[in-house]
Amino acid sequence: MVRTADLVARMSPAFDQTAGAAPGHALRTCMLAMRLAEALGIGDRERSSLFYAALLHEADGRADLVRQAGLSSEVESGIAAIHERWDGRGSPYRLSGEAIPLLGRILAVCHELDAASAGGGAQRAMETIHAGSGSAYDPALTDVLLALCSHGLLAEAADPERYRTISDLEPNWLARMADADEAQRFMALAASMRAARR
What the chain holds in terms of domains, given with CATH numbers, is: 2-193 (1.10.3210.10)
Three-class SS state of 21: coil
Quote the pLDDT of residue 101.
Answer: 97
Cα–Cα distance, 84 to 104 (Å, whole number): 8
Quote the pLDDT of residue 61.
Answer: 65
Cα–Cα distance, 103 to 90 (Å, whole number): 15
pTM of the model as a whole: 0.91
Quote the pLDDT of residue 177.
Answer: 85
The number of beta carbons lying within 10 Å of the beta carbon of residue 87 is 14
Positions in the chain whose pLDDT score sits under 70: 60-62, 163-164, 193-194, 196-198
Quote the pLDDT of residue 198.
Answer: 58
Q: End-to-end distance of the chain based on CA atoms, in angstroms?
A: 31
For residues 34 and 165, is the Cβ–Cβ distance under 8 A? no
Quote the pLDDT of residue 197.
Answer: 59
Quote the pLDDT of residue 195.
Answer: 72
Quote the pLDDT of residue 1.
Answer: 77
Burial class (CB in 10 A: 0-12, 13-18, 19+), 88: middle
Quote the pLDDT of residue 194.
Answer: 66
In terms of Cα–Cα distance, which of 50, 44, 59 is closest to 5? 50
